[in-house]
Amino acid sequence: MIDDESFRSWLDAYGHAWEAQDPEASATLYREDALYFETPFGEPMRGADAIRDYSSEAAATQADVRFGSEVLAFSGDTGIARWRASFTRVPSGVRVELDGIFLVTFDDAGRCREFREWWHRRESRRET
């Protein structure tokens, strides 16, 4: 069962791992057999190693990452949150803002077993 405090704690850890660009910290949030759906139509990433690789690739192309979230609902083993993030693309310098929703399902140990996200993006060109 997930509750408000444990879901907020998980979201804080997720945000900290992204902001710190720490793929190892990110991978520890997921079960070894976790599914991560970046889009509703694509195949999921499968397992903590794939999620670690994804996080590592993102870290190589993002700088000055900022993340925030708010719990919208939780029931049983599933939580829903709104999230916002921003970062600068490397090397283009384009600033990216994201706004989206997470649907996160947890195991009994509080690790994510299934992660789904939906988001929209706005980009701002750097001024010359």
Question: Domains in the chain, ordered, with CATH?
Answer: 4-124 (3.10.450.50)
Q: Write down the pLDDT at residue 125.
A: 79
Q: Write down the pLDDT at residue 127.
A: 61
Q: Write down the pLDDT at residue 54.
A: 96
With helix as H, strand as E and coil as C, how does the chain read?
CCCHHHHHHHHHHHHHHHHCCCHHHHHCCEEEEEEEECCCCCCCEECHHHHHHHHHHHHHHEEEEEEEEEEEEEECCEEEEEEEEEEEECCCCCEEEEEEEEEEEECCCCCEEEEEEEEEEEEECCCC
Q: Write down the pLDDT at residue 90.
A: 95
List of the chain residues with pLDDT < 50: none
Q: Write down the pLDDT at residue 110.
A: 96
